[in-house]
Amino acid sequence: MNKGPVLIIINEEWEREIYTSIWEDLEYENSLKLFDNAEEALSFIAEEETRPFLIISDVKLPGINGYEFREKLLHDADLKCKTVPFIFRSTIDSEEAIERAHAAAANGYFVKGADINGMRKNITAIIEYWKLSRVPRG
């Protein structure tokens, strides 16, 4: 399993606090890196030598939205993270949003739960799946 960090890009402070709490409870060995915008995440990925284990991004972000963030990762030779699983999490539950996410080569699209237990189940399912899945070492 890739020991790199899990990156979560979400612009809501309260959600970042919940993710931090959930992550501490789950005790995964991967570190958690939270960003409130895609630009910060892109800078981190460009500067960090360790490949992230997983990237989870909201669709609605200030500046570069989640779809644009994914496109930048796929089309920039220095930031190319095609072998890093990329997941969208959003409150938007529409066929158009899901199709757009998959057209951007997302590895999944999850609708956010309304409470902390739903968020915990969701994040646990995502992490456990990708811990078992194999991706190219790229």
Q: Is 101 exposed, middle or buried (0-12, 13-18, 19+ CB in 10 A)?
A: buried
Which CATH number do you get for residue 87? 3.40.50.2300
pLDDT tens per residue, the chain (138 residues)? Answer: 678 999 999 999 999 999 999 999 999 999 999 999 999 999 999 898 888 999 999 999 999 999 999 999 998 877 776 568 999 999 999 999 999 999 999 999 999 877 889 889 999 999 999 989 877 665
Here the tokens at position 45 are 């990925």
Q: Say if 14 falls within a structural domain.
A: yes
Distance between CA 41 and CA 35 in Å, rounded? 6
Q: How many domains does the chain have?
A: 1
Q: What share of the chain is helix, strand, coil (3-state, %, to 5)?
A: 45, 15, 40
Domain that holds residue 121: 7-132
Other Cβ atoms less than 10 A from the Cβ of 114: the count is 9
The pTM is what? 0.92
Q: Is residue 38 part of a domain?
A: yes
Question: Quick one: pLDDT at residue 21?
Answer: 94
Residue 1 falls inside a structural domain: no
Contact 66, 91 (CB under 8 A): no
| Predicted local distance difference test score (pLDDT) of residue 40 | 96
